[in-house]
Structure 1
Amino acid sequence: MLKKCSAKIFIKLKIILVLLSVTAFNVFGEGSPGDISNLRINHKNNLAGLIQQAKVTGKVIDENGNPMPGVNVQIEGTTVGTLTDANGNYSLDKPRDNVVLIFSFIGYTSQRVSAAGRTVLDVNLASEVTALEEVVVTGYSVQRRKDIAGSVAVVQVDNLKTVASRSVQQALQGMASGVDITQSGIPGAAPKIYIRGVTSFGNTDPLIIVDGIEQNLNNISSVDIESIQVLKDAGAASIYGVRGANGVILVTTKKGKAGAPVISYEGSYGLQFPLPGNPWNILNTKDYVKVYQTAFPGNPRFLNGIPDYMYRGPQGAGVAMEGDPAVDPSKYFYESPNQGKNYIIQKVDKEGYDWFHALFKRAPTTEHNITASGGTNKSKYLFSLGYLRQQGTLVETNLQRYSARVNTEYTIGNNIRIGENANIIHRNNVGFSENSQFGGIVETLKQQPIVPLYDIMGNWGGTFGGPELGDGQNPVAVQVRNSQNDIPLDWYIVGNAYAEADFLKGFTARSSLGYNINNSFSSNFNTTQVENVQANTSPNTLSVSSGYGSRMTFTNTVRYKNSFGKHNLEAMVGSEAIKYVSRSVNGSRETFFSEDPNYLVLGGGTAATNNSSSIYMESLFSIFSRVDYNFGNKYYFGGTLRRDGSSKFGPESRYGIFPSFSLAWRISDEIFMQNISWLNDFKLRGSHGVLGSQNNVSSTNAFNLYGASVTGSYYDITGTGTGEVQGFYASRIGNPRTSWEENIVTNIGFDATILNNSLDISFEWYKKSIRGLLFSEPLPAAI
């Protein structure tokens, strides 16, 4: 028994001795593993075996398969690490099995790899793509950012997520130089975008292209966006011809990538707050009465100070104090519309009613997006669902947007690719009246501070319930009624299918067919504003409209790209056909017997029948070409030539030719600039070109038009007084000689990157002049 115990104790002492030796080696750095190799333990769990199982080795190479010496290999969350040797090899002891190794090297993308259960771990590091090497979309093709000779602003998409706004267009404010955005504040309303100011009488909106299709950027979630570029000068935008006269915004959405399926979710919640305090600097009741008495001394409203009540009935209006029989609640009577019997009593707000904060409230916004993507080298896919609910700070304004997006791409063989992009959107958008002297926000200024929001019976308060209260509307009442009765619905189907093939050497052919289809339905019911002194007897009205629009874009291009030593050449020719068709129908009636939404159809009205319909059509056919050449990535030349033919013009001036060219010089690559260590890149560039415009021209411009209406062109030709014959009147005098408006743009600037690529600087000087400015001239009184 004693011998067995001594043997066990001896084994334990040997193990402790080995551990002490290893610790001393790690602490003092003396000796080598060979110094302890003669310590042998004849035990089934010998220590040497444990040490071998906790070691991981491997090799690090670059994307070309070359070994990478000096790569830092570190165990995540610790200071334990090593460097690869001259052959890219490394060896590292793991303190435990489930560790994660981080491989990092300057100029390469770091990798985080699990080493759990692995003793050999080889890694391939890819070089980082700097901002200059980044590939961006520049119109029917892509270019490295460093090779762009035109004026192109690249928006950092990651920064969009730092902006509280859920609108991509609003979030662009301040993200690109030369881009100004004016917001209306209405949820879901597209803000006005100006690229380099306003230079036309008519439409100044830039062209917005999403995945090759012209569409509304307001229907795209920022979560779905991969990249945004803004083309500002003729050298960059002229490839889009007449559509690019006001600049171009190019958006590329996220695509599926090769790899295991990935499901991601992103949600957000935010709050908007109205301005606090007294934004309009409106007088309170005490100050208002003082000013009123100064302007109208001896007026009956405030003869005895501030009254307790106001009232209006069939016999007139007045003011009264508490207990006055004139404001006995038993006299109160309300019906809509007012048939002359209404007797409304309102309590005077002696502090001064805050109409601004009655109309504006705290507004939440929530958005949810879920995305699934994946694929192989031969096929890739992405599918996403999105929901946005954005409430406006103005009460009862909101946007609800539902969206589904899918894109796929398949590779056939080694040189053929086919794919599609599809986006389906449904919107329910309740807005409000803006930019008008009547209705909406302006009514908060017109209401007197003594007027309350509600009368004594809880019905809407307003200018009817007292004397000399003006003619303002109750803006809260109007907005609440609209939200309850209005139906604003929109549906969009946007997408394209494409195919491209590589052939010969350096040639790529691509064909794309896209559609942007929208349907809309709107029903607007205006109830009688019983609380409004001017509109309390007006009949209720219902207006219904429905519309359809379809834009077809068919684009075909052939690109050639090759290098000959230091000569780099890229050329493209293409054609594009665009056709837009829309139809609409509208109707309205008055005096509905019931305001129940279930009975609000045009057939329920009894008076003032109005109806109309419209049809619109236009087309554009273009042929274009582009050449980009650079020598040694130092000297650049680009040229674009586009011929556009528009149905808006007559046969004599239907076609226009619009050229542009650009030059650039990378000065930082010259020998005399090599010793400036803080300057990473410096490029001087300039461009000049002509852009055509048809934005202010109607599709019917070249034609004489005639119209008809019961009140304007029906005549009692027979003189019987009982029969009318339809007639017509001239509504437009056609001008087939109208020609293109031309925007002549010159741009000079430079791009610089300094301080180890940490700071980008761009400078622009440009001049834009208009030749042949187009605008509509009113018809003469007599022809």
Structure 2
Amino acid sequence: MKLLAFSLFLCTFSTAAENIYLHLTTGETELFLKKVEERIVNPSPRKTITGVVRDVKNEPIIGANVIEKESAGNGTATGVDGRFTLEVEENAVIRVSFIGYVDQEINTTGRNQFDITLLEDAESLDEVVVVAYGTQKKATLTGAVAAINTKEIKQSPAANLAVTLTGRLPGLIAIQRSGEPGRDAAYLYMRGRGTMNGQDPLILVDGIERDLTSIDPNEVETISILKDASSTALFGVRGANGVILVTTKRGTSEIPDISLNAETGWQTFTRWPTSLDAYDWATLKNQAWHNDNPNPGINDKPPYSEYALERYRLNDWPEVYGNHNWIKELMNEWVPQTRYNLTLNGKGSNVGYFVNVGYLHQGGQWKIDPEPKTYDPQNYMDRYNFRANIDVALNRKKTLKALLNAAGYFESVNGPRIGSSEIIGRILTRWPSIQPGPLTPDGEVLIGSGAYQESPWAQINRSGYLKESRSSVNASFGMEYDLSEFVQGLSTKLIASFDTKSINYLTGSRSYQYWEQVIDPNQQGPDGRDYITYQRIRSDFDNTPLSVSKSATFQSFYDIQYQINYNRVFEEKHAVTGLFLYQQQSLIKASETLPFNVQGLATRLSYAYDNRYILEFNAGYNGSEQFAPKNRYGFFPSASAAWNISEESFFNPIKKTMDKLKLRASYGLVGNDKMGSTRFLYLDNVTRTGGGYSTLISNNHTIQETFFGNPNLKWETAKKLNLGLEVGLLKSLNVTIDLFNEKRNNILINKQSTPQLIGVASSTIAPFNLGRVRNRGYEIEATYTKSLTKDLFVVAKGNINYNDNKVLYMDELELDETYAYRYRQTGYSIGQQWGLKAIGFFKDQEEIDAYATYDGVKPRPGDLKFEDLNSDGIINDKDLMPVGYSDVPKYTWGLALSITYKNFDISGLLQGAFQVSGSLGGNGPWEWYDFRNYHMKAWTPERAESGEEILFPALSLAQSASELRGSTFFNQDRSFVRLKNLEIGYNLPKKWSALIHAKNVRFYTNGYNLITWDKLKFKDWDPEITSNTAYPVLKVINFGANITF
């Protein structure tokens, strides 16, 4: 038989060795014999080189890769003493690398021995930064960009990646309003507030719009924030609020690394609300009653008799006169938090890979009743993360690469069926005097007679459960093709992504009977005291079995990007780069009839002359079906420039002292399409009700226009100006200063000046693009890096940020001249708070009678005295004034310090916020809900007479005149300084690590939200919390170990 011929034969040459494929043809038969590797030319002379690789602490680095650059596969790794031996060509270049350090390339010509020191990766962060759809050298960067690396991120044991950014990135404000496991997302603001509508920055993970909160910190390589128009214009209609770019790790280690990280710790609240004992609580309640009843009748009695007060004081009849600290009885002080990660990092000649698998557990604070249940009501979170990033070279020249990314997470968030805010509110307002505990002797739920009825113990243990199973799978496939063999500097890239996200809700519901205690003075119990019995109340509630219901949400997201890149240097001085990108994405939600679609183009063109003068143009052209057809697409350009003065020849005489001086400026236009959850506001809405026929006396069938669309609907536009200065001193101190000014136009608002006379309700009229806001400020960042001795290495980073916004136009109706302030929004910051000006306390009735009258509840002695700002003799809304600031700080700052001494390291982060204020929401500090420690210093005639400190107005069992409106008294200064992070670590000496064949072993302990200093008047709550029923912010103390093989 004739053998089929194996096709294609060619001679393929490589620089290291020429691979010749030989074939033999006999008649019609072609046989493939074998692959023979031989030199076409005489072999180059070779030599043996030796050396040692160390870190900046002079410690040998075990497992560092030493590779001959031009000979794929010829390499070795350093041993336990950091030494290596390698045979190379006479003039070879070797590349030395190790994960976490900067690669070095060394020419071996004329040398055989080498002493090599690798610098930590933090040293190279300033060299290249991630920007929109690529990277740029920081020396030629014209925009306002800040970045941090994985080492800084991992110093925080916080469960949420977003809050690890607090205080580290100039220009980014991260505020945590809740610490509840699985529901602790941070509020992110880029350079403060610029609009009254959606303010979230755009978040991209590896170039794809994705969620930030559930990413495992061990997966992250760098996080960059883009702040000005130059850096965000490519995102067009979605760039006005800034952009956060998360870049995950990829394979870098030419000898595979396996790393295991294990952490275990405990979490608690940063602040625990105080609780009074029953005697003090009852005494205050009587005091409040006497304030409300200054002249009681003969039959009027205070809530607690002298006999009852004595029982509470002595605690000698707890079965009737209870004494409870419900916070301690229903909540655990410390609960566990654990995290485990296993990572694999490697890079061969054709394949690079990074794989991470992670697990996180956050315990819950509720104390769970040991009663056997078929469910667990504890509030906790379990999260499983996975990520695999794989890069594959598809041809011998490695000009064609495939990029494969797969990632996802599964979260199980569990808790009682009743929400945590409701439960915390009940705990705080549960009377400590309720007898004797949460249950009757027969195990029924006990409700204190006349108390704030619902039992928080029962809400936790007897109401059922809610379990959220959240999952997300993200997949991206990309191709990169370097076309330099055709056009030098040209490359192209295609990425297609598909993401899914789902939440399954499993709700178990049950109800329970309400019982109360009854004291019968006509009978005696076994102890000789009044007989105690229990009776059921609220017959509409019964003990029911658990019933289970299910619901779910699902969404999918598609994104495709195609880009062409150009990067070339002409005559060693003229650097030209260019980018053209097409993008289309679609978000499909099961709850929505139509998908959310975005389509657009982006381009970047930059020119740098001799690294001294840089010009850059960026633009985005994109749109969305959310807008009216004629306004569906928009063009968002920006221009920027930079001058590296330190590269000028005239700068050389001072370059030893000032090694860097750079000026940059940018101006451009970007947009914002975040306008709320209502879609297609440009369309009218017509509804039909009823059926049949309508007559003169009956209206059975109607068709009505319930919403008038806005045919001119469009996006918000932000005109951004940024001026930057970068200074480097003594090759150790770098300072960056940015000044910014933004004018936001076309903000979507509801018209206030449209009169009702047009015959339709204002709710049926679409909002209009009329609002205007100005936002301006500055950012200063300083970084000091110094090796003080061969064993002592110091890195200090600090930043301070200021933002100030002002509403220029809101279509706000001007109030009449009888108002002290005629506008409530126009001319003030977004979120400006308003209240009455408190000028003291009324000392007696005579002073009250001589003063202005109060609109509402009449004041009593000890109530707050408010200034009559408009002098009309009435205290009402016309006397309101701006009070404090908004709940987003104007000043934020961070100071990070890292010290490495031999094998020890210590790092910490201080974070602060100033010019931020607010009054407590939820139940507030009002005493008619509950009594707390600060009520012990409430106004009384005796305390006022003696000059004692007074922390609160006269107590009341109802809403008093002091509390009808917000005021300067209850508006608290929420400025604070926080020890955000502290970490202490120890790296085992390399010779000890080698005993278990490990490259590195590190033990560490770290903490999060450890100490907070603030100026709060009522210190029961964290300064970032705006409601006293919110789940408190968490403090974490953690211990961990990392082993790398």
**Between structures 1 and 2, the one with greater helix share:** 1
Deviation readout 1:311-369 (Å, 9 max, x if unpaired)? xxxxxxxxx996xxxxxxxxxxxxxxxxxxxxxxx945644424266335312111111
User: What letter is aligned with 2:540?
Assistant: T
Alignment of 1:666-681 (within 5 A): 666-676=644-654, 677-681=656-660
User: What letter is aligned with 1:520?
Assistant: I
Deviation readout 1:435-493 (Å, 9 max, x if unpaired)? 99x7132323322221365123374756x332x2134x4334324456x5212111111
2:286 match: secondary structure: helix
Deviation (angstroms), 1:684? 1.5
**Aligned partner of 1:216 among 206, 211, 215:** 211
Question: For residues 73 and 542 of structure 1, what CA distance do their matches in structure 2 show?
Answer: 60
User: What letter is aligned with 1:637?
Assistant: L
User: What letter is aligned with 2:379?
Assistant: T
Show the counterpart of 1:497: 477
RMSD of aligned residue pairs (Cα, Å): 4.0
Question: For residues 690 and 609 of structure 2, what CA distance do their matches in structure 1 show?
Answer: 73
Question: For residues 693 and 194 of structure 2, what CA distance do their matches in structure 1 show?
Answer: 50
Alignment check: 8 A CA contact 2:125 2:149 kept: no
**Aligned partner of 1:470 among 452, 464, 469:** 452
1:166 match: secondary structure: coil
Question: For residues 453 and 717 of structure 1, what CA distance do their matches in structure 2 show?
Answer: 63
Distance 1:687 1:477, change over 3 A: farther
Alignment of 1:630-649 (within 5 A): 630-649=608-627
Show the counterpart of 1:358: 330
Alignment of 1:509-588 (within 5 A): 509-528=492-511, 530-531=513-514, 537=540, 544-565=550-571, 566-584=573-591
Q: Which moved more, 1:256-265 or 1:197-206?
A: 256-265
Does residue 418 in structure 1 map to residue 402 in structure 2? yes
User: What letter is aligned with 1:507?
Assistant: L
User: What letter is aligned with 2:182?
Assistant: G
1:485 match: secondary structure: strand
Show the counterpart of 2:683: 703
Distance 1:636 1:380, change over 3 A: same
**Aligned partner of 1:765 among 736, 739, 745:** 739
Show the counterpart of 2:340: 368
Deviation readout 1:140-163 (Å, 9 max, x if unpaired)? 111112221111011132112222
**Aligned partner of 1:389 among 338, 354, 361:** 361
Question: For residues 550 and 620 of structure 2, what CA distance do their matches in structure 1 show?
Answer: 43
Distance 1:725 1:412, change over 3 A: farther
Distance 1:370 1:287, change over 3 A: same
Question: For residues 60 and 347 of structure 2, what CA distance do their matches in structure 1 show?
Answer: 30
**Aligned partner of 1:653 among 622, 625, 631:** 631
Alignment check: 8 A CA contact 2:418 2:460 kept: no
Deviation (angstroms), 1:683? 1.6
Does residue 407 in structure 1 map to residue 396 in structure 2? no
Distance 1:159 1:776, change over 3 A: same
| Bigger relative contact order, structure 1 or 2 (CA pairs below 8 A, ≥6 apart) | 2
TM-score between the two structures when normalised by the length of structure 2: 0.54
Question: For residues 440 and 406 of structure 2, what CA distance do their matches in structure 1 show?
Answer: 55
Deviation (angstroms), 1:735? 2.3
Deviation (angstroms), 1:556? 0.7
1:769 match: secondary structure: strand
**Aligned partner of 1:379 among 351, 358, 369:** 351
Q: Which moved more, 1:767-776 or 1:204-213?
A: 767-776
Alignment check: 8 A CA contact 1:506 1:560 kept: yes
**Aligned partner of 1:688 among 667, 674, 678:** 667
Structure number with greater Rg is 1
Deviation (angstroms), 1:195? 0.9
**Aligned partner of 2:432 among 446, 449, 453:** 449
Show the counterpart of 1:45: none
Deviation (angstroms), 1:394? 5.7
User: What letter is aligned with 2:153?
Assistant: L
Deviation readout 1:41-96 (Å, 9 max, x if unpaired)? xxxxxxxxxxxxxxx9946699xxxxxxxx9999969xxxxxxxxxxxxxxxxxxx
Alignment check: 8 A CA contact 2:286 2:303 kept: no
Distance 1:717 1:258, change over 3 A: same
Deviation readout 1:104-144 (Å, 9 max, x if unpaired)? xxxx98999xxxxxxx9755958857446532210111111
Show the counterpart of 1:84: none
User: What letter is aligned with 1:388?
Assistant: L
Alignment check: 8 A CA contact 1:198 1:204 kept: yes
User: What letter is aligned with 1:749?
Assistant: G
1:576 match: secondary structure: strand
Question: For residues 625 and 506 of structure 1, what CA distance do their matches in structure 2 show?
Answer: 17
Distance 1:308 1:689, change over 3 A: same
Deviation (angstroms), 1:672? 3.9
Deviation (angstroms), 1:275? 4.8
User: What letter is aligned with 1:440?
Assistant: I
Question: For residues 433 and 144 of structure 1, what CA distance do their matches in structure 2 show?
Answer: 52
Show the counterpart of 2:845: none
User: What letter is aligned with 2:665?
Assistant: G
Alignment check: 8 A CA contact 1:150 1:236 kept: yes
Deviation readout 1:704-744 (Å, 9 max, x if unpaired)? 33568xxxx4467699xxxx999776554332320221011
Deviation readout 1:522-542 (Å, 9 max, x if unpaired)? 133443364599987368887
**Aligned partner of 2:173 among 180, 188, 211:** 180
User: What letter is aligned with 2:430?
Assistant: Q
2:748 match: secondary structure: coil
Question: For residues 532 and 630 of structure 1, what CA distance do their matches in structure 2 show?
Answer: 80
Distance 1:766 1:524, change over 3 A: same
User: What letter is aligned with 1:578?
Assistant: Q
Does residue 305 in structure 1 map to residue 273 in structure 2? no
Matched pairs, number = 615
Alignment check: 8 A CA contact 1:453 1:460 kept: no
Alignment check: 8 A CA contact 2:416 2:465 kept: no
Alignment check: 8 A CA contact 1:528 1:538 kept: yes
Deviation readout 1:10-67 (Å, 9 max, x if unpaired)? xxxxxxxxxxxxxxxxxxxxxxxxxxxxxxxxxxxxxxxxxxxxxx9946699xxxxx
Distance 1:568 1:449, change over 3 A: same
User: What letter is aligned with 2:380?
Assistant: N
Deviation readout 1:600-632 (Å, 9 max, x if unpaired)? xxxxxxxxxxxxxx4352111101111121111
Alignment of 1:18-97 (within 5 A): 58=49
1:236 match: secondary structure: helix
1:633 match: secondary structure: coil
Show the counterpart of 1:507: 490
Deviation (angstroms), 1:769? 1.5
Deviation (angstroms), 1:688? 1.0
Deviation (angstroms), 1:374? 2.1
Question: For residues 425 and 75 of structure 1, what CA distance do their matches in structure 2 show?
Answer: 38
1:629 match: secondary structure: strand
Alignment check: 8 A CA contact 1:187 1:398 kept: yes
Q: Percent identity?
A: 23
Alignment check: 8 A CA contact 2:56 2:118 kept: no
Deviation (angstroms), 1:204? 1.1
Alignment check: 8 A CA contact 1:74 1:101 kept: no
1:399 match: secondary structure: strand
Question: For residues 415 and 745 of structure 2, what CA distance do their matches in structure 1 show?
Answer: 38
1:499 match: secondary structure: strand
1:688 match: secondary structure: strand
**Aligned partner of 2:250 among 255, 276, 300:** 255
Distance 1:388 1:727, change over 3 A: farther
Q: Which runs of 5+ in 1 are unaligned?
A: 1-55, 63-70, 78-96, 113-119, 311-319, 323-345, 585-613
